[in-house]
């Protein structure tokens, strides 16, 4: 196979898999193109063209390049909207934003390249079939992307099944990584069957049987688990939750000092309405309170803010804190924290959680001590610090203690965060977020897909109040409760109505207290895949040493 054809096949695979993601393209539609997820079936075969190219790669270096090509196509299609966030709301010049986007895509595509290269080296040298080698190697590479340089595990393959309830239930066993492994396995089996057909070799029925058995067992188990969780959720006590979505343009939010009263006017009336409708908990989005507050704030009942007196509901309110810390050299520095405060009906603060996983270049600047010019690519901001611990918040409700596990925005894309919180036995996960940064794009819908997997992994409902974009109540099965708010961010450059009013979603979610295998064992499956990959590389190294140490046959003496 020629090199241009191999590259074309890999780019085709990347684009096919990107079509399985939740997508919203502004010049086509301001909302999700395929909300039912019909195109998610492409994930089961989308990798096959690239596998034909990989099978014929002459070595691991060529395989690395092919994986990089496939990854670049996939991730550019997946996260092109990052450029919009930087230019429209971050004040970053377009060339700088495109360079930043390309570096991020290159970082993400590197892990696809790594998976291709390792699978090619291990499979070819040890004569192991590609369909058996690639799934664990792929999972090992995705686990690496969860942690390398603080991690950015966006658009992992497992999220391509978030809208299909049966295969996505595998997340309760091995997290999003197990779903990804199944998809790669099926792609590998389909490739093996087509390869045999094209080469006019006998059909590898054992391979076909293994693939069919894996799919049948996965979907069968998913159906049983789905039915059990639905029954448990129906029998569980309920919590009535209100989500307030302000639908404020991010450029207005950035000028919070001038527009603070306007922003509060979007949230306060609907908060009172949710209380009137009997909500036990009213959740505001990330950083929705329009002014900086002290991390030691004791009450939101301040006369100048005109908060309504609540009769029943507790309030989970997102706010940015500001305070001073003393550095080692004695200097005092102003630092901020992205927090949520839990307040009672009297607006007295009962607890605070501070965001654990900060956004690179959004909330902090990595490597700025060594590369000071990087500081120029983000707008000025108070230096943010992460929260010291993952912790739940609780209050005493009419039916006893209610425990809430906040995952502020970026926290929710890391499965180990939700697992750590789930082990504290909360009744509900809450994901306050600000999707206004994404504009009208795929970003809010892809983030929602990630959160749906968090619900399945932990067997907990997730309340997701968004500042703009998609607010939703996610059931423990990963399904959406009726009434999700999908208005898209208010963006004057794209929106037909830049004055979209605020919205309120009130609904009931089950209070679940059980465990899944994933919350008990964490990423054991993913680390087992890492062990498999390392064992394959170790075996390669041992055989190479054995060959180099073997005596060479003596040469016959010359005449």
Residue 286 falls in the annotated catalytic set: yes
Instruction: Supply the pLDDT for residue 55.
Output: 94
Determine which one of 32, 286, 457, 479 is catalytic.
286
Q: Find out whether 486 and 470 touch, Cβ atoms under 8 Å.
A: yes
Backbone torsion region of residue 367, taken as left when φ is above 0, otherwise alpha when ψ lies between -120 and 50, otherwise beta: left
Instruction: Supply the pLDDT for residue 483.
Output: 87
Question: At 298, is the secondary structure helix, strand, or coil?
Answer: coil
Locate tokens 């190479």: which residue? Answer: 544
Instruction: Supply the pLDDT for residue 130.
Output: 95
Q: Find out whether 327 and 333 touch, Cβ atoms under 8 Å.
A: yes
Q: Find out whether 316 and 340 touch, Cβ atoms under 8 Å.
A: yes
Determine which one of 32, 40, 195, 355 is catalytic.
355
- The two beta strands, 281-283 and 238-245, are parallel
> Could you tell me the maximum CA-CA distance found in the chain, to the nearest angstrom?
108
* Spatial CA neighbour of 250 closest among 381, 433, 435: 435
Distances (CA, A) of 234 to 169, 463, 506: 18, 17, 18
The per-residue DSSP string of 183-246 comes to: HHHHHHHHHHHHHHHHTTPPP-HHHHHHHHHHHHHHHHHHHHHHHHHHHHHHHS-EEEEEEEE-
Question: At 130, is the secondary structure helix, strand, or coil?
Answer: helix
Instruction: Supply the pLDDT for residue 387.
Output: 82
Q: Find out whether 394 and 404 touch, Cβ atoms under 8 Å.
A: yes
Burial class (CB in 10 A: 0-12, 13-18, 19+), 488: buried
Residue 328 falls in the annotated catalytic set: no
Instruction: Supply the pLDDT for residue 328.
Output: 63
The per-residue DSSP string of 351-371 comes to: EEEE-SSPPBTTTB-TTTTT-
Exposure of 277 in the CB half-sphere (CA atoms within 13 A): 19
Q: Find out whether 233 and 510 touch, Cβ atoms under 8 Å.
A: yes
Q: Could you say which residues of the chain have pLDDT below 50? A: 559
Instruction: Supply the pLDDT for residue 369.
Output: 61
Q: What predicted TM-score, i.e. pTM, was given to this entire model?
A: 0.93
Instruction: Supply the pLDDT for residue 4.
Output: 93
Instruction: Supply the pLDDT for residue 304.
Output: 53
Q: Find out whether 183 and 170 touch, Cβ atoms under 8 Å.
A: no
Instruction: Supply the pLDDT for residue 327.
Output: 61
Question: At 275, is the secondary structure helix, strand, or coil?
Answer: helix
Instruction: Supply the pLDDT for residue 543.
Output: 79
Beta bridge partners of 293: 321
449 Cβ contact list (under 8 Å, min separation 6): 21, 22, 159, 162, 163
| CA separation for the pair 395, 507 (Å, rounded) | 19
Determine which one of 32, 253, 409, 479 is catalytic.
409
Q: Find out whether 463 and 242 touch, Cβ atoms under 8 Å.
A: no
Instruction: Supply the pLDDT for residue 458.
Output: 98
Exposure of 512 in the CB half-sphere (CA atoms within 13 A): 28
- How many other CB atoms sit within 10 Å of the CB of residue 217? 12
Instruction: Supply the pLDDT for residue 489.
Output: 64
Angle, alpha carbons 459-465-470 (nearest 5°):
95
- On whether the 236-510 domain is CATH 3.20.20.120, my answer is no
Q: Find out whether 216 and 159 touch, Cβ atoms under 8 Å.
A: no
Instruction: Supply the pLDDT for residue 498.
Output: 61
Domain boundaries, the chain: 3-232+523-547, 236-510
474 Cβ contact list (under 8 Å, min separation 6): 448, 451, 452, 455, 461, 462, 463, 464, 480, 481
Residue 333 falls in the annotated catalytic set: no
| CA separation for the pair 229, 222 (Å, rounded) | 10
Phi, psi of 42, rounded to the nearest 5 degrees: -60, -25
Phi, psi of 80, rounded to the nearest 5 degrees: -60, -25
- What is the side-by-side order of every strand in the sheet holding 470-474? 393-397, 400-406, 428-430, 462-464, 470-474, 485-486
Describe the crossing of helices 524-549 and 94-126 by its angle, rounded to 10 degrees.
60
């Amino acid at each position: 196979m020629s090199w241009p054809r191999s590259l074309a096949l890999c780019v085709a695979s990347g684009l096919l898999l990107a079509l399985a993601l939740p997508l919203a393209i502004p010049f086509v539609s301001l909302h999700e193109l395929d909300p039912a997820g019909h195109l998610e079936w492409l994930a089961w075969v989308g990798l096959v063209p690239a596998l034909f190219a990989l099978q014929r790669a002459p070595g691991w270096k060529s395989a690395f390049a092919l994986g990089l090509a496939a990854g670049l196509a996939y991730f550019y299609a997946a996260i092109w909207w990052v450029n919009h966030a930087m230019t429209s709301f971050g004040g970053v010049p377009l060339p700088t934003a495109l360079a930043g986007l390309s570096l991020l895509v290159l970082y993400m595509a590197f892990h696809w390249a790594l998976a291709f290269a390792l699978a090619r080296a291990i499979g070819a040298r040890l004569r192991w079939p590609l369909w058996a080698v690639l799934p664990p190697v792929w999972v090992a590479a995705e686990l690496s992307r969860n942690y390398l340089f603080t991690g950015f595990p966006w658009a992992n393959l497992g999220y391509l099944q978030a809208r299909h309830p049966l295969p996505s239930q595998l997340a309760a066993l091995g997290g999003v990584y197990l779903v990804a492994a199944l998809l790669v396995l099926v792609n590998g089996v389909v490739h093996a069957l087509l390869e045999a057909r094209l080469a006019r070799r006998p059909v590898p029925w054992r391979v076909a049987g293994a693939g069919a058995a894996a799919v049948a067992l996965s979907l069968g188990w998913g159906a049983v688990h789905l039915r059990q969780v639905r029954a448990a959720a129906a029998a569980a006590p309920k919590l009535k939750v209100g989500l307030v979505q302000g639908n404020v343009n991010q450029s207005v939010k950035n000028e919070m000092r001038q527009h603070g009263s306007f922003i509060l006017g979007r949230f306060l009336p609907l908060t009172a309405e949710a209380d009137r409708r009997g909500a036990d908990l009213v959740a505001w989005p990330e950083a929705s309170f329009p002014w900086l507050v002290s991390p030691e704030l004791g009450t939101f009942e301040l006369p100048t803010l005109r908060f309504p007196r609540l009769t029943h509901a507790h309030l989970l309110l997102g706010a940015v804190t500001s305070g001073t810390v003393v550095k080692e050299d004695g200097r005092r520095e102003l630092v901020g924290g992205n927090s949520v405060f839990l307040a009672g009906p009297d607006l007295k603060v009962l607890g605070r959680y501070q965001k654990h996983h900060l956004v690179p270049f959004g909330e902090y600047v990595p490597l700025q001590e060594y590369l000071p010019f990087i500081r120029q690519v983000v707008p000025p901001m108070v230096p943010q610090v992460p929260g010291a611990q993952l912790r739940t918040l609780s209050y005493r409700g009419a039916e006893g203690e209610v425990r809430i596990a906040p995952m502020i925005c970026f926290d929710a894309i890391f499965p180990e965060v939700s697992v750590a919180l789930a082990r504290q036995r909360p009744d509900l996960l809450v994901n306050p977020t600000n999707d206004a940064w994404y504009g009208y794009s795929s970003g809010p819908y892809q983030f929602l897909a990630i959160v749906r997997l968090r619900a399945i992994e932990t067997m907990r409902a997730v309340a997701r109040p968004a500042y703009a974009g998609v607010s939703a109540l996610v059931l423990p099965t990963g399904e959406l409760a009726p009434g999700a708010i999908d208005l898209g961010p208010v963006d004057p450059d794209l929106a037909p109505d830049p004055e979209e009013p605020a919205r309120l979603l009130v609904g009931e979610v089950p209070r679940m207290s059980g465990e899944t295998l994933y919350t008990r064992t964490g990423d054991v499956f993913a680390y087992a895949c890492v062990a498999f990959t390392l064992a394959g590389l170790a075996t390669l190294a041992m055989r190479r040493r054995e060959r180099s140490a073997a005596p060479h046959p003596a040469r016959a003496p010359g005449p």
